Chain A
Amino acid sequence: MIRDFIRRRSINLGLVMTGGCNGCDIEIVALLSQRYDLEQYGIFYHNNPRECDALLVTGTVAKQWQEKLVELYNKVPEPKAVVAIGACALSGGIFQQETGKVAAPVREIIPVDAEVPGCPPRPAEIAIAVLKHVPPALASYRRKS
């Protein structure tokens, strides 16, 4: 119980870019700036999936990522949450066409707890999604073993 309480106040984020245009990623990087200041909410952003609590997935899942994303998800320590960000991660966006090489949406590949629509979403929207949905998702996470 204490662990859950503390985990709610210290979320480590890992970013996975699986295609798309980088637009969502620079909006996540913009969250580090003083205007949004992600760390004041106890959220620490780095890029290491083995140490993170919540995985931010952006981009159309390119065909090469389809299996790797599942592997990566399994490597994140439990309990874990996933936030899918941007139109590409939600539906494939503009790349979801007959000739596209895309396996989106993300929710069909790994379980997703929150989705942020937009092309790209504003930084504040991403911060709100993480703050609102990641702590309950971590608290109600059911361990596999």
Chain B
Amino acid sequence: MSYLPFGPIHPALKEPLRIKLKTEGERVVDAEVDLGFIYRGAEQIARGKPWQKVAYLTERICGICSDAHPHTFIEGLEAISDCVPPVRAQYSRVIMGELNRIHSHLIANAIWFLAVEHETLGIYNLNIREKVMDLLEMISGNRVLYSWNLVGGVRMDFKESHLKKILENLKEVESEVYRYRKMFKSDALLGLRSHDVGKMSKEDAIDVRAVGPVARGSGVKFDWRTKHPTYVDYFDFQPVWRDECDNYARVMMRFDEVLDSIKIIRRAVEELPDGPIRKECEIPRGSIDYRYEAPRGELAYIFETAQHGIINDITIRTPTIPNLEACVKHMFRDSPTIADAVAIYQTIDPCIACTERVVIVDEKGNENDFRGMQNVLKELKALKNKKK
């Protein structure tokens, strides 16, 4: 029995995080995760600021799901103020959100293929992703951070030429993704690295509250988009899921979701209604727990507003937190080699920039993260004053 640490800087990791693997020879028995390398205190910065500034900040929590964060936050604010944005705005949010999901899933798969040293598929995935990035840049003006959502609507309108280009590029992306999917399915080497590696049963997935493609790869048929008003009213959305429960299922899940997202965008573009893209809303005092399906899974924004849209308190729960636990607790168990542990870690599509949050658990094991956070800060302040 020996311990093998990897990270915070490691060729396989793009972001700093330390994983301590407990090994018996090559076999991984257990693992521990050490987080906290890039904690920036986004929640503390957000406190006491107007919503316009906080929306700008939420976008910079994660650069990959940079549409999902402001999307959730702004829709939460709209839910507080009982304000339904115009239908055209809702449709353009769907288009932007799904384009964001496609690019996130493609880069996730690309990094997985690079992690198992299958460079061909990795570079292919990165290359086809550029088509989607072009669309995002054309629509919003930036490749990564879009500032697309505002309370009561969206920032800009689509032009006819935009819609034409979207359909054109997505046609190309679709045919290529089908091809890569087939390559992944039939490749013997990739099969060795993916089939029956990193198993997590449905019961375990529910037990650790895994979310997103990780949970759906283990047969949990849940997606927050099935409860999202726009998807329910206009898209009759059905989640895709698989029941292989291993690396193969999770990588395949992402390819399937890309194809699913392309279908949704195509439908949104074809049915895009005319009308205004923004309406006036006033934000009253209130609090809410709003959830949305980010590319990696459930994203929760729990916050409280004062008059005129000042954010009093905010808690953000990002999808990688439960997924990382699922990975460490269930997937690493009996991973045949250490190289497979790296491959398993990449299949959960970890985003450490999202994950650096603070969750406070008291002695009895109760999580207090909403009102509790402020109390703890008060106590810390009192302690500081005492020392002075």
Contact = CB atoms under 8 A, between A and B. Distances in A.
B65 to A, nearest CB: 9
A101 interface: yes
A27 B45 contact: no
A17 B143 contact: no
B111 A29 contact: yes
Contact of A21 (B123, B143, B353): B353
Contacts of B8: 68
B41 A23 contact: no
A119 B353 CA distance: 15
B305 interface: no
B191 interface: no
A60 B41 contact: no
B9 A27 contact: no
A114 B8 CA distance: 24
B40 A102 contact: yes
Interface string A90-115: 00011101011110000000000000
Given A95-B45, A120-B144, A19 B126 contact: no
B126 A29 contact: yes
Interface residues of B, number: 42
Contacts, number: 123
A35 B124 CA distance: 11
Contact of B353 (A22, A49, A102): A22
B40 A120 contact: no
A16 B13 CA distance: 10
Contact of B145 (A23, A35, A59, A65): A23
Given A21-B62, A65-B37, A120-B145, A35 B14 contact: no
Contacts of B12: 47
Given A29-B14, A65-B37, A72-B9, A23 B130 contact: no
Nearest to B134: A35
A133 B44 CA distance: 37
Interface string B35-63: 01111111011010000000011011111
Interface residues of A, number: 42
B127 interface: yes
A93 B41 CA distance: 13
B286 interface: no
Interface in A55-113: 59-60, 62-65, 68, 72, 93-95, 97, 99-102
Given A48-B11, A62-B40, A94-B60, A33 B127 contact: yes
A62 B39 contact: yes
B11 A97 contact: no
A53 interface: no
Contacts of A63: 39
Contacts of A68: 8
A33 B130 contact: yes
Contacts of A23: 60, 63-64, 66, 144-145
14 contacts: A15-B14, A19-B38, A22-B62, A25-B14, A29-B107, A29-B111, A29-B126, A30-B126, A34-B123, A35-B130, A47-B12, A64-B37, A120-B144, A122-B143
